[in-house]
Amino acid sequence: MGILVVAEHHNGQLATSTARVVSAARVIGGDIDVLVAGSGASTVAEAAATLSGVTRVRVADDAAYEHELAENMAALIAILAGEYSHVFAAASTAGKNFMPRVAALKDVAQISDIIAVESADTFVRPVYAGSAIATVQALDALKVVTVRTSAFDPVEMAGSAAIEALAIVENIGVSRFVEEQLASGERPELSAARIVISGGRGLGSGENFKLIEAVADKLGAAVGASRAAVDAGFVPNDFQVGQTGKIVAPELYIAVGISGAIQHLAGMKDSRVIVAINKDEDAPIFQVADYGLVADLFEALPELANKL
């Protein structure tokens, strides 16, 4: 029956998360089609066609899909879903928004945020903020699944799939895009970065995040933050690493001035190497850190930036 993977893209660029979702789909095997829905999506479709393991890229190019409004996206995907045994998408804010709507339109369960595929109907996912790991079997014929992208390596861009244009326009008309305020950043994207350095309440102010940024620049790292730092207004909320923010699993995660609340750990504890810099030697973050430095961050960060 095959698997439909819903591509994620921003500003005419295919997001790296899509290569990771294809990677999860490949564990099951069979034909994998990628759906690119958007407005002016031809470059994205061409990029998607190079993903290894993809048979066909199906393109729904219409203004109705421009901002991935859940109502329109779900209606489109639900029409296509009849041709597939599985529909996969990234557990990004976009995927989380439209996929449950697809599942309900098809009257099937959704399996959210999987971290492993055991078989065509059995998936592994964290529950209770990552405090427990559940293995779940989907009993419906159609499996609607969102994928925690940090748990899968991306497939290579060495394929050459066929591109097919779809003429399905679903404009439900109950929602309208007004505007977007995106945090600008030249640094790597948080969820895809190889190195992440995050600051917490210990930074004391938004101004002091410059100390974090100086180290990030030396390492080519993305900058993250704890919920406490976001709630205190130090940085915008899309910096937030945690259960209610972004889930990251970089090679190196440096937590500075972060105590290590369970909410935060849920978002970063699968990082390969964790470093904690904190002046409180009893901070829970030290219980998960591979390397811990008990120090005043206002001294340690400039020194680190200098010596790298």
184-243 positions binding another protein, by CB under 8 A = 191, 195, 219, 227, 231, 236-238, 243
Residue 67 makes contact with another protein by CB under 8 A: yes
Residue 78, by phi and psi: left (phi above 0), alpha (psi -120 to 50) or beta? alpha
Give whichever of 32 and 149 is closer to another protein, judged by the CB atom: 149
- Determine if 294 is a binding residue for another protein (CB under 8 A): yes
User: Contacting another protein (CB under 8 A), which of 1, 157, 205, 272?
Assistant: 272
Binding flag, residue 107, another protein (CB under 8 A) = yes
Pair of tokens at residue 289? 């850190």
C-beta closer to another protein: residue 159 or 188 = 188
Contact stretch for another protein (CB under 8 A) within 44-52, 109-117, 153-161, 201-209: 109-117
The reply on whether position 269 binds another protein by CB under 8 A is yes
Q: Which is nearer to another protein, 51 or 289 (CB)?
A: 289
The answer to the question of residue 288 lying near another protein (CB under 8 A) is yes
- Written as six digits, the tokens of 128 are 């209770």
Shortest distance, CB of residue 175 to another protein, whole angstroms?
Answer: 4
How is residue 14 written in tokens? 């295919």
30 to 59: interface string for another protein, x by CB under 8 A: ------------------------------
Report helix, strand or coil for 51. coil
- The Cα–Cα gap between 211 and 61 comes to 44
- Neighbouring-strand partners of residue 225: 199, 240
Nearest to 7 by CA among 29, 28, 42, 30: 42
Rule CB under 8 A: is residue 71 a binding residue for another protein? yes
**93 binds another protein, rule: CB under 8 A:** yes
Between 55 and 122, CB nearer to another protein: 122
Q: d(Cα 58, Cα 70) in Å, to the nearest integer?
A: 19
**Touching another protein, residues 133-172 (CB under 8 A):** 133-140, 172
* Segment lying near another protein (by CB under 8 A), choices 30-38, 159-167, 197-205, 265-273: 265-273
Nearer to another protein, 31 or 238 (CB): 238
CA-to-CA dists, residue 71 to 101, 145, 153, angstroms: 8, 18, 30
> What is the number of other CB atoms lying within 10 angstroms of the CB of residue 105?
15
Binding flag, residue 126, another protein (CB under 8 A): yes
Residue 252 is inside which H or E element, if any? strand 252-256
Number of residues that bind another protein (CB under 8 A): 89
d(CA 122, CA 114): 10
CA distance linking residue 122 with residue 138, whole number of Å: 6
Residues 145, 109: Cα–Cα separation, whole Å: 9
